């Protein structure tokens, strides 16, 4: 396997560090628009891999917005698999570049949605991943695989859903992804500061877009699976969810996320939801950004206040917000706490009785920093596509077309995640039984 990773930010860098311990690939090319970032990732991976395996890592520059440039780079290195580790704006050019180069494709976020033009808080417009799934027949006809949504959320939660469907339940009422953390970022004075632990560009996108929910009864009434999806206002239906791993109760709200668009395509459930533990402060900041129009991606003209350099520049308000906040990849030493990704499943167990379980994966920031030099949120995201690539390389997983993680057997994935190193990744997952409603 010869891998091209597009993007050497926090997640891409963590991919390189994790992959340095594994032996399933022949070559891993780290490519970024900023060559200094890809070079830093390669230096870290080579140091971790040791002299005998260091030459497997190469740094390159690429413009992720240019499908032709992605294809050219993939062809030059005879790439077999392209892993997209840039933000969702660039999903389609990287997706198409991989196809043009004859490579398989993986991503951790899917093509962007566009709200319904007249009824955004009731009806979906263009949904997350629609443009990728529309190309499914073309990928299948070419014998190529596009494995979409293979991060942590989406990704690991979708693997959990397949495991629950196959091994824990005879009938599922709800597949409810629930994510939360007790992470804090400390400033120079040791006091907590506002600094998101993941891409603020992506966070704004998923938190301020209308959240999507899927219900089987709606699909049946509409006579089509498409009729099962509907939208609600941002931050809808808050609930306090008790997270394991010492995190405790966190207020969660509906957020637009790929799991709701993936799980109903492959699994049978009455309802599919996604709720994220944002916290009151974060929700307040996001509401303010929206009120001020600072969440917009449309460029605006800004007149320079510098008398020596008069004139105007065109800039996206959301890009300005991202530029003003710390790079999440640099926050690891300042972060304290843990993050939890998981799936709450309700329904009837294999014995026919009511059952409610929370399948989850907790990563402590102190552990990920000590073991990999990567903060816990980006490490937890990056480990999942590395596992998927290893399963594909070894022939344990295989397929063609545009598929989600639910299309593959969950057991080998979860076994590799928790098996002790060097066999696996040494990061346990768990199942927590919860009181089930009769």
For β-strands 27-32 and 57-61, DSSP reports them as parallel
The rounded distance, in Å, linking the Cα atoms of 376 and 331 is 10
Task: Determine the average pLDDT of the residues in 310-334.
Answer: 78
Together in a domain, 373 and 422 = no
CATH number at residue 201: 3.30.360.10
Domain membership flag for residue 303: no
Domain membership flag for residue 344: yes
- pLDDT recorded at residue 197: 67
Span of 64-78, 160-174, 322-336 with lowest mean pLDDT: 322-336
The rounded distance, in Å, linking the Cα atoms of 88 and 63 is 14
The rounded distance, in Å, linking the Cα atoms of 179 and 195 is 18
The rounded distance, in Å, linking the Cα atoms of 437 and 347 is 9
The values of phi and psi at residue 354, to 5°, are -60, 140
- pLDDT recorded at residue 143: 98
- pLDDT recorded at residue 205: 75
User: Would you say residue 265 has pLDDT above 80?
Assistant: yes
Contact 45, 16 (CB under 8 A): yes
For the chain, give the number of residues. Answer: 438
Together in a domain, 112 and 57 = yes
Environment class of 29 (CB within 10 Å of its CB; exposed 0-12, middle 13-18, buried 19+): buried
Domain membership flag for residue 438: no
Together in a domain, 60 and 108 = yes
DSSP annotation of 111 reads: P
- Enter the tokens of residue 18: 């994790």
User: Would you say residue 286 has pLDDT above 90?
Assistant: no
Task: Determine the average pLDDT of the residues in 276-304.
Answer: 81
Domain membership flag for residue 432: no
- Enter the tokens of residue 141: 């006809």
The rounded distance, in Å, linking the Cα atoms of 77 and 434 is 50
- Per-residue pLDDT band at 239 (split at 50, 70, 90): very high
Together in a domain, 104 and 28 = yes
Together in a domain, 205 and 339 = yes
User: Would you say residue 325 has pLDDT above 90?
Assistant: no
Q: Which of 335, 358, 377 is the last residue of a domain?
A: 377
Domain membership flag for residue 437: no
- Per-residue pLDDT band at 306 (split at 50, 70, 90): low
Domain membership flag for residue 289: yes
Together in a domain, 257 and 394 = no
- pLDDT recorded at residue 192: 72
Give the count of domains, the chain. 2
CA 61 to the chain's CA centroid: 23
- Enter the tokens of residue 7: 């993007």
pLDDT in tens, 195-207: 676 677 777 777 7
Environment class of 291 (CB within 10 Å of its CB; exposed 0-12, middle 13-18, buried 19+): exposed
Long-range CB contacts for residues 184-191, cutoff 8 Å, separation at least 24: 184/335, 184/336, 184/337, 185/326, 185/331, 185/334, 185/335, 186/334, 186/335, 186/336, 187/334
Together in a domain, 223 and 124 = no
- Enter the tokens of residue 254: 């509906």
Together in a domain, 293 and 356 = yes
pTM of the complete model: 0.92
Task: Determine the average pLDDT of the residues in 175-194.
Answer: 86
Domain membership flag for residue 435: no
* Helix 258-266, helix 156-163: angle, nearest 10: 30
For residue 143, give every residue at least 6 positions away whose Cβ sits within 8 Å of its Cβ, in sequence order, or none. 400
The rounded distance, in Å, linking the Cα atoms of 16 and 253 is 33
- Per-residue pLDDT band at 321 (split at 50, 70, 90): confident
Together in a domain, 350 and 278 = yes
User: Would you say residue 369 has pLDDT above 80?
Assistant: yes
For residue 175, give every residue at least 6 positions away whose Cβ sits within 8 Å of its Cβ, in sequence order, or none. 161, 164, 259, 263, 267, 269, 271, 272, 273, 343, 345
Together in a domain, 290 and 403 = no
CA 345 to the chain's CA centroid: 20
Together in a domain, 143 and 292 = no
- Per-residue pLDDT band at 97 (split at 50, 70, 90): very high
CATH number at residue 74: 3.40.50.720
The rounded distance, in Å, linking the Cα atoms of 373 and 175 is 33
- Per-residue pLDDT band at 309 (split at 50, 70, 90): low
DSSP annotation of 433 reads: E
For β-strands 248-254 and 239-243, DSSP reports them as antiparallel
- Per-residue pLDDT band at 20 (split at 50, 70, 90): very high
Span of 33-42, 148-157, 313-322, 340-349 with lowest mean pLDDT: 313-322
Together in a domain, 45 and 117 = yes
For residue 236, give every residue at least 6 positions away whose Cβ sits within 8 Å of its Cβ, in sequence order, or none. 211, 253, 254
- pLDDT recorded at residue 328: 74
Query: Of 201, 6, 39, 206, which Cα lies nearest the Cα of 106?
Result: 6
E strand residue ranges, 133-256: 145-147, 169-181, 184-186, 192-193, 212-215, 229-231, 239-243, 248-254
- Enter the tokens of residue 322: 């991202």
Domain membership flag for residue 403: yes
Contact 392, 416 (CB under 8 A): no
Task: Determine the average pLDDT of the residues in 408-428.
Answer: 97
Domain range holding 346?
156-297+310-377
Q: How many CA atoms lie within 13 A of 434 on its CB side?
A: 18
Query: Of 229, 106, 252, 247, which Cα lies nearest the Cα of 181?
Result: 247
User: Would you say residue 310 has pLDDT above 70?
Assistant: no
- Enter the tokens of residue 39: 């070079």
């Amino acid at each position: 396997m010869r891998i091209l990773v597009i993007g050497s930010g926090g997640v891409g860098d963590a991919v390189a560090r994790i992959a340095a311990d594994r032996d399933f690939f022949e070559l891993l090319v780290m490519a970024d628009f900023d060559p200094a970032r890809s070079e830093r990732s390669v230096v870290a991976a080579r140091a971790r891999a040791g002299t005998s395996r260091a030459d497997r890592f190469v740094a390159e520059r690429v413009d992720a917005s240019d499908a032709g440039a992605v294809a050219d780079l993939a062809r030059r290195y005879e790439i077999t698999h392209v892993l997209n580790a840039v933000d969702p704006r660039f999903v389609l050019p990287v997706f198409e570049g991989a196809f043009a180069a004859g490579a398989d494709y993986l991503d951790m976020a899917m093509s962007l949605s566009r709200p319904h033009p007249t009824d955004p808080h009731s009806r979906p417009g263009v949904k997350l991943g629609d443009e990728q799934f529309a190309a499914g027949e073309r990928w299948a006809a070419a014998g190529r695989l596009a494995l979409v949504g293979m991060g942590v959320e989406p990704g690991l939660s979708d693997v959990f859903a397949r495991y629950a469907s196959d091994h824990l339940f005879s009938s599922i009422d709800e597949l409810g992804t629930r994510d939360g953390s007790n992470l804090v970022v400390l400033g120079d004075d040791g006091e907590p500061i506002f600094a998101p632990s993941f891409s603020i560009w992506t966070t704004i996108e998923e938190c301020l877009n209308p959240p999507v929910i899927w219900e089987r009864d709606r699909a049946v009434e509409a006579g089509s699976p498409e009729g099962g999806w509907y939208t609600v206002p941002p931050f809808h239906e808050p609930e306090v969810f008790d997270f394991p791993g010492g995190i405790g109760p966190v207020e969660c709200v509906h957020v637009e996320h790929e799991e709701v668009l993936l799980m109903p395509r492959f699994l049978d459930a009455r309802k599919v939801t996604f709720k994220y533990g944002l916290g009151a402060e974060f929700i307040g900041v996001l509401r303010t950004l929206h009120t001020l129009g600072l969440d917009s991606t449309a460029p605006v003209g800004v007149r320079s206040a510098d008398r020596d350099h008069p004139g105007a520049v065109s800039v996206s308000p959301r890009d300005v917000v991202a530029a003003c906040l710390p790079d999440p990849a640099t926050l690891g030493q300042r972060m304290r706490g843990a993050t939890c990704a998981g799936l709450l499943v309700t329904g009837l167990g294999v014995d026919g009785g009511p059952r409610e379980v929370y399948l989850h994966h907790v990563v402590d920031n102190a552990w990920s920093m000590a073991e990999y030099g990567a903060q816990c949120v980006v490490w937890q995201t990056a480990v999942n596509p590395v596992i998927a690539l290893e399963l594909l390389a070894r022939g344990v997983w295989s397929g063609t077309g545009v598929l989600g993680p639910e299309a593959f057997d969950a057991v080998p994935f979860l076994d590799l995640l928790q098996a002790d190193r060097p066999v696996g990744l040494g990061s346990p997952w768990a199942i927590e039984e919860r009181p089930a409603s009769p």
